[in-house]
Structure 1
Amino acid sequence: MTSAWVGERVRLRATEPEDWEAFYAFEEDSDAVRSGWRLHPPTSAARAKKWAAEHAEKDPDLDEFRLVIATKDDNAPVGSINTHQVDRDAGTFAYGIAVGTPHHRKGYAGDAIVILLRYMFFERRFQKAEAWVYSSNDASLTLHRRLGFVEEGRRRRSHYANGRYEDEVLFGMTIEEYTERYA
């Protein structure tokens, strides 16, 4: 028996209450947090525990959801991936991904993205995935190009972090492009 949520290196799974500690620790690397979205004021351990408990109890949605990226071998959390901006009429969705700094460059992000796209394309009938990447995030730009995403556009000076404005680069992949490469 094989799970659709398991790849070569990772498994995607729901949040468990005990995951709070890993995600709390990931927030300590401000540069990594900025490259994924935005830096927030520090949170307490109690708030991190509450967040994890609330997510663990949340009823899943078929199209808009957040999953933990966990190592395949020991199920330890290394990051998260989520879907958003779901447009059922157009058949498009966007996703965001974050991997904790100690787990960078181990193939976890790429594996998680391929699993997510397979589900959204072949189980939920979407036809296109989109991802916005900040122009200073060289690792993510390289990853999306390597995975076969096409650079579709650029929003100039649309993100502000660490005292400077930067561009957002839009990447897209259609189901046909995914199928040609991964199916």
Structure 2
Amino acid sequence: MTSSAWVGERVRLRAKEPEDWEAFHAFDEDSDAVRSGWRLTPPASVARAKKTAIEHAEEELDLDEFSLVIATRTDNAPVGSINTHAIDRVHGTFSYGIAVGTPHHRKGYASEAIVLTLRYMFFERRFQKAEAWVYGYNDASLALHRRLGFVEEGRRRRSHYADGRYHDEVLFGMTIEEYTERYA
């Protein structure tokens, strides 16, 4: 039996498929969860959700900057997504973002998806540091990153506006050495 670098105990990271539109469209109904991930936007139509899913499924593959579905290992159902961005090949750093649908919170999906993504970026793509920005009001994500061993490196005060107020953004970082000590 072969093993995949993209499969953990609970989740598999996979490419987006057109049929994923329904799950992600449903996740977007929870305004608080959407706000915690990035920013709240007006509702999308079913037609727009389907079109966007098709466009994402057909995007060209980039080895360093990508977006993947977090799916359950048992039935391949979408529970969220993880993406890499802010790629800096000169300094060997990257950032990532993660979102898990509200019905799937607190099941270990996010932590496993992050660990799998970091392993790929560190050991296959030769990056040396991962960074994540977390909104100061997102207590669950702040706790998750601390639990995973990320180091709080800084705070941008009042740099994010949501729900009628300005909020801080907290920068977390993890080096390849910190990852290796904990997970390899």
The normalised TM-score by structure 2 is: 0.99
C-alpha separation in 2, matches of 1:88 and 1:8: 31
Partner of 1:101: 102
Cα deviation for residue 57 of structure 1 reads 1.1
Shift of 1:109: 0.2
Question: What is aligned with 1:123?
Answer: 124
Give secondary structure in 1 for the equivalent of 2:3. Answer: coil
**Counterpart position of 1:86:** 87
Q: Hey, what does 1:57 align to over in structure 2?
A: 58
Partner of 1:11: 12
Task: Give me the whole-angstrom Cα distance separating, in 2, the residues matched to 1:96 and 1:67.
Answer: 11
Overall identity of the aligned pairs, in %: 84
* Structure 1 residues 6-85: aligned runs within 5 Å: 6-85=7-86
> Tell me, what secondary structure is at the counterpart of 1:51?
helix
Q: Which runs of 5+ in 2 are unaligned?
A: none
How many angstroms does 1:180 deviate by?
0.2
Matched residue type, 2:132:
A
Q: Residue in 1 aligned with 2:112? A: 111
- Shift of residue 59, structure 1, vs aligned partner: 1.5
Provide runs of 4+ in structure 1 moved above 3 Å.
none
* Cα distance in 1, alignment partners of residues 34 and 56 from structure 2: 20
Compute the displacement of 1:71 (Å): 0.3
Deviation at 1:24, TM superposition (A): 0.2
1:134 aligns with 2:131: no
RMSD (Å), alpha carbons: 0.4
Give, in whole Å, the separation in 1 of the partners of 2:73 and 2:61. Answer: 22
